[in-house]
Amino acid sequence: MERMTDELRRLTDDMFETMYAARGIGLAAPQVGREERLAVVDIEDNPIVVVNPQIVLADGSARGEEGCLSIPEVFGEVDRATRITVRALDRNGEPFELEATDLLARCLQHEIDHLHGKLFIDYLSFLKRRAALAKWESMKKDFPRNLRKVPANEIAGRHGEEAL
Ligand code: ZN
Protein backbone atom coordinates (compact mmCIF):
# COMPACT_ATOMS: atom_id res chain seq x y z
CA MET A 1 0.00 0.00 0.00
CA GLU A 2 1.67 3.19 -1.14
CA ARG A 3 -0.62 5.94 0.07
CA MET A 4 -3.64 6.60 2.19
CA THR A 5 -6.89 7.31 0.39
CA ASP A 6 -10.32 8.46 1.54
CA GLU A 7 -11.49 4.87 1.15
CA LEU A 8 -8.74 3.62 3.46
CA ARG A 9 -9.53 6.36 5.98
CA ARG A 10 -13.13 5.16 5.98
CA LEU A 11 -11.83 1.63 6.49
CA THR A 12 -9.90 2.73 9.59
CA ASP A 13 -13.03 4.46 10.94
CA ASP A 14 -15.05 1.28 10.35
CA MET A 15 -12.35 -0.79 12.03
CA PHE A 16 -12.37 1.40 15.14
CA GLU A 17 -16.16 1.04 15.25
CA THR A 18 -15.97 -2.75 14.89
CA MET A 19 -13.24 -2.96 17.51
CA TYR A 20 -15.13 -0.86 20.06
CA ALA A 21 -18.34 -2.83 19.43
CA ALA A 22 -16.43 -6.03 20.18
CA ARG A 23 -14.74 -4.48 23.23
CA GLY A 24 -11.32 -5.02 21.72
CA ILE A 25 -8.16 -2.92 22.05
CA GLY A 26 -6.71 -3.71 18.62
CA LEU A 27 -7.86 -4.81 15.18
CA ALA A 28 -5.93 -5.56 11.99
CA ALA A 29 -7.28 -5.27 8.44
CA PRO A 30 -7.08 -9.04 7.74
CA GLN A 31 -9.52 -9.58 10.61
CA VAL A 32 -12.19 -7.76 8.63
CA GLY A 33 -11.34 -9.49 5.38
CA ARG A 34 -8.98 -6.86 3.96
CA GLU A 35 -5.46 -7.28 2.68
CA GLU A 36 -4.04 -3.85 3.50
CA ARG A 37 -1.17 -3.74 5.98
CA LEU A 38 -3.09 -1.57 8.38
CA ALA A 39 -4.16 -1.87 12.02
CA VAL A 40 -5.89 0.19 14.67
CA VAL A 41 -5.30 0.08 18.42
CA ASP A 42 -6.77 1.99 21.33
CA ILE A 43 -5.53 1.66 24.86
CA GLU A 44 -6.76 4.14 27.46
CA ASP A 45 -8.53 6.43 24.97
CA ASN A 46 -5.52 6.83 22.72
CA PRO A 47 -6.62 5.72 19.24
CA ILE A 48 -3.69 4.95 16.92
CA VAL A 49 -3.65 3.98 13.24
CA VAL A 50 -0.57 2.20 11.89
CA VAL A 51 -0.16 1.71 8.15
CA ASN A 52 2.68 -0.50 6.86
CA PRO A 53 4.00 -0.82 10.43
CA GLN A 54 7.50 -2.12 11.01
CA ILE A 55 9.11 -2.95 14.33
CA VAL A 56 12.53 -1.31 14.14
CA LEU A 57 13.59 -1.87 17.75
CA ALA A 58 12.53 -4.46 20.30
CA ASP A 59 13.75 -4.87 23.84
CA GLY A 60 12.94 -6.96 26.89
CA SER A 61 10.59 -9.89 27.18
CA ALA A 62 7.52 -10.60 29.25
CA ARG A 63 4.86 -13.29 29.28
CA GLY A 64 1.26 -12.16 29.31
CA GLU A 65 -2.19 -13.44 28.52
CA GLU A 66 -3.65 -12.63 25.13
CA GLY A 67 -6.95 -13.09 23.43
CA CYS A 68 -8.04 -12.25 19.92
CA LEU A 69 -11.26 -10.95 18.39
CA SER A 70 -10.80 -13.50 15.60
CA ILE A 71 -10.82 -16.45 17.99
CA PRO A 72 -13.10 -15.22 20.77
CA GLU A 73 -13.03 -16.63 24.28
CA VAL A 74 -9.68 -18.35 23.70
CA PHE A 75 -6.76 -17.08 25.76
CA GLY A 76 -3.12 -18.03 26.06
CA GLU A 77 0.20 -16.87 27.47
CA VAL A 78 2.58 -15.31 24.95
CA ASP A 79 6.12 -13.91 25.33
CA ARG A 80 6.47 -10.44 23.81
CA ALA A 81 9.06 -7.68 23.80
CA THR A 82 8.25 -5.16 26.53
CA ARG A 83 9.47 -2.12 24.63
CA ILE A 84 9.31 -1.57 20.90
CA THR A 85 9.72 1.19 18.37
CA VAL A 86 7.34 1.02 15.44
CA ARG A 87 7.78 2.91 12.20
CA ALA A 88 4.55 3.41 10.24
CA LEU A 89 2.38 5.80 8.30
CA ASP A 90 -0.48 7.50 10.13
CA ARG A 91 -4.10 7.99 9.09
CA ASN A 92 -3.03 10.80 6.74
CA GLY A 93 -0.21 8.80 5.22
CA GLU A 94 2.49 10.71 7.11
CA PRO A 95 5.46 8.69 8.42
CA PHE A 96 5.91 8.55 12.19
CA GLU A 97 7.69 6.58 14.86
CA LEU A 98 6.04 5.33 18.00
CA GLU A 99 7.69 4.04 21.15
CA ALA A 100 5.47 1.66 23.04
CA THR A 101 5.80 -0.28 26.28
CA ASP A 102 3.82 -2.89 28.17
CA LEU A 103 0.24 -3.44 26.99
CA LEU A 104 0.52 -1.08 24.01
CA ALA A 105 3.73 -2.83 22.92
CA ARG A 106 2.04 -6.22 23.28
CA CYS A 107 -1.02 -5.07 21.38
CA LEU A 108 1.03 -3.65 18.48
CA GLN A 109 3.10 -6.84 18.20
CA HIS A 110 -0.12 -8.88 18.15
CA GLU A 111 -1.68 -6.70 15.41
CA ILE A 112 1.50 -6.59 13.31
CA ASP A 113 1.55 -10.41 13.51
CA HIS A 114 -1.98 -10.40 12.03
CA LEU A 115 -0.57 -8.50 9.03
CA HIS A 116 1.81 -11.42 8.52
CA GLY A 117 -0.92 -14.03 8.88
CA LYS A 118 0.18 -15.03 12.34
CA LEU A 119 -2.12 -15.57 15.33
CA PHE A 120 -1.13 -15.58 19.00
CA ILE A 121 -2.04 -19.26 19.29
CA ASP A 122 0.83 -19.99 16.88
CA TYR A 123 3.16 -19.25 19.83
CA LEU A 124 1.51 -21.78 22.13
CA SER A 125 2.82 -25.28 22.69
CA PHE A 126 1.37 -27.97 20.45
CA LEU A 127 -1.01 -29.24 23.14
CA LYS A 128 -2.20 -25.79 24.20
CA ARG A 129 -2.69 -24.78 20.61
CA ARG A 130 -4.71 -27.91 19.92
CA ALA A 131 -6.87 -27.26 22.99
CA ALA A 132 -7.39 -23.64 21.95
CA LEU A 133 -8.41 -24.63 18.43
CA ALA A 134 -10.78 -27.32 19.72
CA LYS A 135 -12.42 -24.78 22.01
CA TRP A 136 -12.74 -22.34 19.12
CA GLU A 137 -14.19 -25.07 16.82
CA SER A 138 -16.88 -25.81 19.38
CA MET A 139 -17.80 -22.13 19.74
CA LYS A 140 -17.53 -21.01 16.13
CA LYS A 141 -21.26 -21.19 15.43
CA ASP A 142 -21.83 -18.52 18.10
CA PHE A 143 -19.61 -16.09 16.20
CA PRO A 144 -20.95 -15.91 12.65
CA ARG A 145 -18.65 -13.10 11.55
CA ASN A 146 -15.61 -14.50 13.31
CA LEU A 147 -15.65 -11.55 15.63
CA ARG A 148 -16.73 -11.42 19.19
CA LYS A 149 -20.11 -9.86 19.86
CA VAL A 150 -20.74 -8.77 23.39
CA PRO A 151 -24.37 -8.73 24.52
CA ALA A 152 -25.35 -5.25 25.74
CA ASN A 153 -25.96 -6.46 29.29
CA GLU A 154 -22.37 -7.75 29.51
CA ILE A 155 -20.70 -4.58 28.34
CA ALA A 156 -20.78 -2.68 31.62
CA GLY A 157 -17.95 -3.48 33.95
CA ARG A 158 -16.27 -6.05 31.81
CA HIS A 159 -12.55 -5.96 32.51
CA GLY A 160 -9.52 -8.20 32.36
CA GLU A 161 -10.49 -9.96 29.17
CA GLU A 162 -9.09 -7.60 26.62
CA ALA A 163 -8.98 -8.98 23.13
CA LEU A 164 -6.70 -7.78 20.39
ZN1 ZN B 1 -5.94 -10.65 17.19
The CATH number of the domain holding residue 33 is 3.90.45.10
Inside any domain, residue 142: yes
Q: What is the tens place of the pLDDT at every residue in 5-22?
A: 999 999 999 999 999 999
The helix/strand count (H/E) of the chain reads as 4, 7
- pLDDT for the residue numbered 159: 45
Inside any domain, residue 151: yes
Helix (H, G, I), strand (E, B) or coil at 18: helix
Helix (H, G, I), strand (E, B) or coil at 153: helix
Inside any domain, residue 75: yes
Q: What is the tens place of the pLDDT at every residue in 139-164?
A: 877 776 656 555 454 444 444 456 67
CA of 109 to the centre of ligand 1 (A): 10
User: Domain total for the chain?
Assistant: 1
CA of 70 to the centre of ligand 1 (A): 6
* pTM listed for this prediction: 0.86
Inside any domain, residue 163: no
What is the Cα 115 distance to its own chain's centre? 10
Q: Which residues are catalytic?
A: 111
Beta bridge partners of 163: 24
What is the extent of the structural domain holding 56?
6-155
